[in-house]
Chain A
Amino acid sequence: MDNKISMDNKISDDRRSFIKKVLNGTIGGSLLLVFSAGAEIFKSPEDIPAQIPSLKNKEYEITKAHFAFIVDITKCIGCGSCCVADKREYNVADGYYRTWVERYLKDYDDNVYVDSPKGGLEGYQSPREDIDVKVRDTFFVPKLCNMCKEPPCVQVCPIGATFQTPDGFVLVDHKRCVGCGYCIQACPYSVRFLNPVTKTAEKCSWCYHRVRKGLQPACVSVCPTGARKFGDLNDENSEVSKILKGPGVITVLKREMGTFPGLYYIGARREVI
């Protein structure tokens, strides 16, 4: 692996020095026009500039890493970019959602109406027409795995196929999962489902494969408003560290369940469950 990376680096170094030489030459300008487009194509994920700077150029320490996810409801516009990115990153089967966006409506009698057509995958193109009430408050709530610190889904798995990593992610071992569905019933946040193709349990992983390479989860990286935030809690300067240490009101979903979510919400009204 290391060999491969250094080979890649060597190739790109060679290319760079070649282009420099050409540039220094007399016909530099015109040749550069031909070469420039292909000059910097990223060949491997290692080439992508890290979005979580504290993980850059460092050996990943699995027992020390510590992350948090924050959803800012006051910033979400319900565009569903996050849902689209998630579906594409994992080729999620139609009708199943690893993450989704709910629309909340509240009327003057404190009734709450929630809908989420196609999980928000196609965005919200029209207002709700099936209810005829005066709307007092309305907002979007993105949902995903809460990465509980005391995950009920892990407790109930009979064969250790759903597990908690030392860096705090709850993942599914697709080679071991027998699809019994206990975890799907145990999750208080209903984020799990049985993959219709593999017949194994599936759920949001906070894009573990991306995080390990210093990239933001796909949904965070495409959110245009910054409503979804992910970051390193070991890094004092990360946005999530600052938010969690700050004075703002931050809540978790279904606190009384004792699951201790690693997913926090800003601006969640008490009706949000």
Chain B
Amino acid sequence: MQSGNYSHLIRIILGIIVFAVFGFIGKKLLTPESFGVYGHFRADAIEEEAAREIRHWTNASCLSCHAYEAKIHLKGRHKTISCEFCHGPYADHVKDGKKTGTLPVKKGEDMKILCMRCHNKAIQARPGEVIKTVVMPDHLTSQKVKETHNCSQCHHVHAPLMYIEKARKITGFDAKEAL
């Protein structure tokens, strides 16, 4: 009679033990390694993200090879512009110290569009103290050049005032003052 009373208890306890063991093993198997080191996440994911490929290697990398451009670029008003913005990321050009691809140089209408991304006065949200803006084609008319002129015919793309300052030095003539 008494043994009958205990058998259902034993069954319940056995059931709980089996549940706990399976639960324990299941948790061990399903919890990824490094989970919980810093919190409720897989700590290894931090190092995985940190190991992502760097694609923009900064101007220092570009200019270390392109010494001629460096000389001009670093002296001009465009010195804060990233090489990789206009030409594309370093990673598409060099790998393990070897050239793997050629980066494009913008020409013609594409170049004008590129210049106008920053210098278009029609976009009023551009603060004058941060950037010099112009209205095209008014700028061409006021500078007395043909309307078909491209920006680079007067402005060196890496140092926009280079030619203009040179011309000023040679001629002693300042177009701005003369206007």
Contact = CB atoms under 8 A, between A and B. Distances in A.
A88 B56 contact: yes
Interface in B160-177: none
Interface string B132-160: 00000000000000000000000000000
A171 B126 contact: no
B50 interface: yes
B40 A43 contact: no
Contacts of B126: 77-78
Interface in A151-173: 160-161, 163-166, 171, 173
A51 B57 CA distance: 11
Interface in B67-101: 67, 78, 80-82, 84-85, 88-89, 94, 96-97
B31 to A, nearest CB: 10
Contact of A88 (B55, B118, B127): B55
Contacts of A174: 45
A159 B69 CA distance: 51
Contacts of A139: 125
A89 B49 contact: no
A149 B151 CA distance: 46
A85 interface: yes
Find the residue from B46, B57, B118, B125 having the highest chain A CB count within 10 A. B125
Contact of A81 (B35, B85, B125): B85
A48 B84 CA distance: 14
A37 B54 contact: no
Contacts of A237: none
Contacts of A48: 54, 57-58, 60-61
Interface in A50-101: 51, 62, 74-75, 77-81, 84-85, 88-89
B28 interface: no
A222 B117 contact: no
Interface string A103-141: 111000000000000000001111100000001001110
Interface string B32-47: 1001001111100110
A160 B41 contact: yes
A42 B58 CA distance: 11
B17 to A, nearest CB: 28
Given A48-B61, A81-B85, A124-B123, 18 more contacts: A42-B57, A45-B57, A77-B125, A78-B125, A81-B82, A88-B84, A88-B88, A89-B56, A138-B124, A161-B41, A163-B41, A164-B39, A173-B41, A209-B52, A210-B54, A215-B54, A218-B55, A225-B130
